[in-house]
């Protein structure tokens, strides 16, 4: 027993020593990584503080002095941010190095050294950071965004040298408007309009459109909401797509889009109405009023809009609010659906969420919106406007689908509601 114990214990002694050495090395590397991460976080903290205090020199002191193009762009960014009522701006480093994103190879950059010597290049590190910011009066809580930053060390000091190395296509997947060029800010009575590459006259007209749309949305949604909207007017369709994070083709022909985080269940919404410069300005005064009221209604209802809310209800409700005061026959408001009904093609069901996709068939998309509008119009006429609002609220808080919601609020099931809607479509659009 004694000999066996001695022979067995000799091997673990070696393993333990090796394990201790390995663990020691891991601890040292972890401590070094944490220290370096703290240094990188401090750079971003200084930049955030400069934004909040309006200190241009302090802001540019965090930007790589050798990154000429990026530095010029950051001068414009800082000037744009200085025009906004920003009351919160912070970064939190969430990943570094390969865990953040792979850096592109850069062999051109060299640091000058004392005595004329040159080294192969400065040290660079990829940083993924969560940006949180809040625009006072328009964001109830800080908005979250992801930044892909490259930080470069020069003579012992770290600087931000790029914000595009880690983003798809060499740019942000969802650029902020203040990163797209010199920005003009126009304040309305109930709106804040931000524009790049648009004349101030257009932006003031946008502010007027938004100000007029707020009362219309408020009348349709008699619940608490900020009654203030933020509108963004990019210079091109491509720039609009940059803000929304999708391909330009998805938004061609769409006059405006409201984007933000779905509210409810502890999440706080952040809304931006983004105008398509290729479509919005082609509309007449009434068309702009309808579009803007639709989008403002999304802002009003967003705190009660969740993944449980079907798009036929959220988009239909926004259209219902937009057309409430419009004196037009239903067949003019829903021309594609009216044409289908005249051809004997009454839809058998309400549209699915997938049928509201911007990148899909344009006619199918239009019929989906028209179907949702007529459903909400029918509910408002048959059960009352308050019941329509109650249906919307209940849908956003449901985990069990629309069947129990419809039964509780309207006293019928989805099959019954759909049957009534199909008959309403036939009657209102002139087909039998």
Residues 6+ apart with CB under 8 A from 225: 218, 299, 300, 301, 303
Q: What is the average per-residue pLDDT within 90-97?
A: 96
pLDDT at 115: 43
* pLDDT of amino acid 34: 76
CA 223 to each of CA 321, 324, 390: distance values in angstroms, whole numbers, following the listed order: 14, 17, 11
Determine which of 65-69, 92-96, 100-104 has the lowest per-residue pLDDT on average: 100-104
Kindly indicate the confidence band of residue 126, based on its pLDDT and cuts at 50, 70 and 90.
very high
- pLDDT tens digits, 213-272: 999 999 999 999 999 999 999 999 999 999 988 889 889 889 999 986 443 333 344 589
Give percent of the chain with pLDDT exceeding 70. Answer: 84
The arithmetic mean of pLDDT across residues 8-32, rounded, is 51
Comparing 26 with 342, the larger pLDDT belongs to 342
**Range in 35-39, 306-310, 318-322 the model is least confident about:** 35-39
Q: Determine the pLDDT at residue 42.
A: 98
Residue 69 has pLDDT above 90, yes or no: yes
Report the alpha-carbon distance of residue 260 to residue 275 in Å, rounded: 14
Using CA of residue 365, residue 369, residue 372, residue 378, what is the dihedral sign?
negative
254 class by beta-carbon count within 10 Å (0-12 exposed, 13-18 middle, 19+ buried) = buried
Q: How many CA atoms lie within 13 A of 185 on its CB side?
A: 13
CB-based burial label for 99 (10 Å; 0-12, 13-18, 19+): exposed
At 4 the pLDDT is: 36
User: Concatenated DSSP letters for 141-197?
Assistant: SPEEEEEEEEEEEETTEEEEEESSTTSGGGS-TT--GGGSS-EEEEE-SSEEEEEES
Distance CA 419, CA 57 (A): 66
Residue 62 CB coordination number (10 Å) = 21
Average of per-residue pLDDT across 301-330: 94
pLDDT at 35: 76
Q: Is the pLDDT of residue 81 over 60?
A: yes
Query: What pLDDT, on a 0 to 100 scale, did the predictor assign at position 341?
Result: 92
Residue 361 pLDDT class (50, 70, 90 cuts): confident
Asked whether residue 83 carries a pLDDT value surpassing 80, the answer given is yes
Cα 197 from Cα 109, distance rounded (Å): 33
Q: Coil, helix or strand for 30?
A: helix
Please give the full DSSP string across 14-25, using - where no structure is assigned: HHHHHHHHHHHH
Distance, CA of 91 to CA of 128 (rounded, Å): 10
What's the pLDDT band for 18 if we cut at 50, 70, 90? low
Is the C-alpha dihedral spanning 388, 390, 393, 399 positive or negative?
negative
What does the pLDDT average to over 10-37? 57
| Mean pLDDT score across all residues of the chain | 87
- Greatest mean pLDDT among 24-28, 120-124, 311-315 lies in 311-315
Judged by average pLDDT, the poorest of 24-28, 248-252, 364-368, 412-416 is 24-28
Report the percent of the chain where pLDDT is more than 90: 73
For 166-216, what is each residue's pLDDT tens digit?
765 555 445 899 999 999 999 999 999 999 999 999 999 999 999 999 999
User: Residues near 378 by Cβ (< 8 Å), separated by ≥ 6?
Assistant: 420, 421, 424
Q: Give the list of residues 6+ apart from residue 336 with CB closer than 8 angstroms, or none.
A: 363, 366, 367, 370
Q: Please state which of the ranges 73-82, 86-95, 160-169, 201-210 shows the lowest mean pLDDT.
A: 160-169
Q: Which one, of 361, 410, 356, lies nearest residue 381 by Cα? A: 410
Among 351, 362, 355, smallest CA distance to 425 is for 351
Q: Which long-range contacts (CB under 8 A, 24 or more apart) does 335-340 make?
A: 335/370, 336/363, 336/366, 336/367, 336/370, 337/367, 337/370, 337/371, 337/374, 337/425, 337/429, 338/429, 338/430, 338/431, 340/367
| Prediction pTM value | 0.85
User: How do residues 130-156 score in pLDDT, each as one tens digit?
Assistant: 999 999 999 988 999 999 999 999 999
For the chain, domains (ranges, CATH) are 28-172 (3.10.450), 174-305 (3.30.2010.30), 308-432 (no CATH)
**Confidence class of residue 106 from pLDDT cuts 50, 70 and 90?**
low
**388-391: Cβ within 8 A, 24+ apart:** 388/317, 388/320, 389/221, 389/222, 389/223, 391/313
Confidence of residue 337 (pLDDT cuts 50, 70, 90): very high
Using the predicted structure, report yes or no on whether residue 331 has a pLDDT greater than 60.
Answer: yes
SS3 assignment, position 399? coil
Nearest-10 Cα torsion for 351, 354, 358, 363: -40
pLDDT at 253: 87
Name the band, by pLDDT with cuts 50, 70 and 90, for residue 430.
confident
Band of residue 117 on the pLDDT scale cut at 50, 70, 90: very low
Tens digits of per-residue pLDDT, 349-359? 999 999 998 87
Q: 275-309: per-residue pLDDT in tens?
A: 999 999 999 999 999 999 999 999 999 999 999 99
Residue 334 near residue 366 (C-beta atoms within 8 A): no
The pLDDT score that the predictor gives to residue 7 is: 38
The closest of 4, 18, 122 to 67, measured between CA atoms, is 122
């Amino acid at each position: 027993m004694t000999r066996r114990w001695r022979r067995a214990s000799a091997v673990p002694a070696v393993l333990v020593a090796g394990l201790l050495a390995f663990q020691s090395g891991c601890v040292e590397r972890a401590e070094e990584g944490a220290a370096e991460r703290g240094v990188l976080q401090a750079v971003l903290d200084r930049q955030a503080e400069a934004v909040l205090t309006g200190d241009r020199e302090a802001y540019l002191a965090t930007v790589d002095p050798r990154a000429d193009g990026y530095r010029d762009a950051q001068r414009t960014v800082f000037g744009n941010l200085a025009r906004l009522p920003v009351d919160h701006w912070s970064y939190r480093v969430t990943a570094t190095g390969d865990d953040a994103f792979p850096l592109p190879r850069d062999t051109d950059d060299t640091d000058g050294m004392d005595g004329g010597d040159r080294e192969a290049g400065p040290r660079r590190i990829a940083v993924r950071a969560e940006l949180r910011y809040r625009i006072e009066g328009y964001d109830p809580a800080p908005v979250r965004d992801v930044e892909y930053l490259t930080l470069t060390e020069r003579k012992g000091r770290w600087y931000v040298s790029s914000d595009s190395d880690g983003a798809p296509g060499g740019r942000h997947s969802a650029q902020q408007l203040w990163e797209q060029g010199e920005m003009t800010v126009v304040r309305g009575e109930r709106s804040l309009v931000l524009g790049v590459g648009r004349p101030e006259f257009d932006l003031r007209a946008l502010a007027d459109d938004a100000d007029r749309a707020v009362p219309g949305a408020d009348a349709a949604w008699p619940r608490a909401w900020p009654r203030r909207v933020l509108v963004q007017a990019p210079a091109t369709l491509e720039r609009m797509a940059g803000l929304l994070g999708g391909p330009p083709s998805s938004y061609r022909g769409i006059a405006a889009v409201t984007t933000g985080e779905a509210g409810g269940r502890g999440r706080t919404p952040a809304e931006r109405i983004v105008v398509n410069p290729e479509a919005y300005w082609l509309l007449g005064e009434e068309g702009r009023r309808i579009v803007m009221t639709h989008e403002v209604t999304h802002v009003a209802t967003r705190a009660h809009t969740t993944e449980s809310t079907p798009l036929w209800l959220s988009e239909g409700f926004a259209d219902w609010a937009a057309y409430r005061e419009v004196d037009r026959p239903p067949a003019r408001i829903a021309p594609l659906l009216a044409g289908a009904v005249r051809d004997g093609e009454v839809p058998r069901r309400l549209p699915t969420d997938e049928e509201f996709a911007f990148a899909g068939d344009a006619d199918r998309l239009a019929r989906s919106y028209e179907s949702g509008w007529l459903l909400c119009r029918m509910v408002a006429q048959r059960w009352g406007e308050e019941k329509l609002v109650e249906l919307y609220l209940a849908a956003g808080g449901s985990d069990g689908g629309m069947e129990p919601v419809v039964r509780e609020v309207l006293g019928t099931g989805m099959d019954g509601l759909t049957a009534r809607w199909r008959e309403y479509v036939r009657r209102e659009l002139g087909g039998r």
